[in-house]
Structure 1
Amino acid sequence: MSIDFSAPTPSPLSTQMKQLKHSVINQFEALDDPRVKREPKHKLVDLVTIAILAVLSGADNMVAITYGKAKQQWLETFLELPHGIPSHDTFSRVLALIDPTQLHECFNSWVEQITNQLEIKLINIDGKTARGSYDREKQLKALHTVSDWASEHHLVLAQQRVESKSNEITAIPVVLNLLDIQGAIITLDAMGTQRNIAAQILTVGGDYILALKGNQD
């Protein structure tokens, strides 16, 4: 039996790296680079990708984001990193300049792409108040958000802040619009059991499981 060594079969790991590289570049290269018009030392897509992966791994400050120095060899399998891993000062300066709305849109597109690949069919929508977000001295109310949550994969798919003078009813339609929910089942508590929300889900081809209170019909 002859064996062809000319075209080795790619390993699952190398295939995953190619998919990750394609998805990251495809979604985050659209970000406008806020730095001065000269050749930057570090590519913006590299900075953003490392920051996102670091936060997903538990990083909660700029120093922790430079965890990439310990993972540089792995990161170089799908990022260019022409000058290695940026310093925490570089991360702090560049991330502060990025348009947050544009970054949010790119991130949501990336998550939606992942969602489609995972074929998520059950999405829970719920509101949560961030612990410790209330600031008495600055008179800032606690941060309350509504999230699309894929419990099977332990993954937050989308999130929307609830404005201080509003409630979850106005935020739920926004998070629904952030995802392609065709063919998915959406679960909502009694707060989200509204005719217009149910109609919105059905209009785009989704279905729902709603919680009813005694005073709702």
Structure 2
Amino acid sequence: MSWLSQKKEWWGIKSIILTCNTVMGAEGEESIEERYFISSLPMRIEETERAVRGHWMVESYHWHLDVTFREDGNHTLEKQASYNLNIMRKLSLNILKLIEVGSKALSMKKKRYAIGTNPEKHLETILNL
């Protein structure tokens, strides 16, 4: 934590938050990740917990948009078309989160692929959401 010595330079800092997250690896191994957040929030656990969870919920959503739909690779220049594509990706992502495809849990990318290969099979389920 050598960076902590720089805290005098951070204007408005009121708290440093440490979260410990248990992460499951691809092989089923468990590891613990420590994340630090520098915050202007007062040290009230309920407020900081809500802020950290909210931050990671947004990060997770954007990660899914990039990984599942390769949004960062899209270079649509026309503003309205880009806006419309963004809405369609978000709508599609929300549908993928709600729908079950097959008998086992699939990643968002695999769900998208499965629905894309046989859309008629899944159409009724999607329309009934």
Same fold (TM over 0.5): no
Higher Cα Rg, which structure? 1
Q: Hey, which of these two has a bigger chunk of helix by percent? A: 2
Report the TM-score when normalising by structure 1.
Answer: 0.22
Report the TM-score when normalising by structure 2.
Answer: 0.32
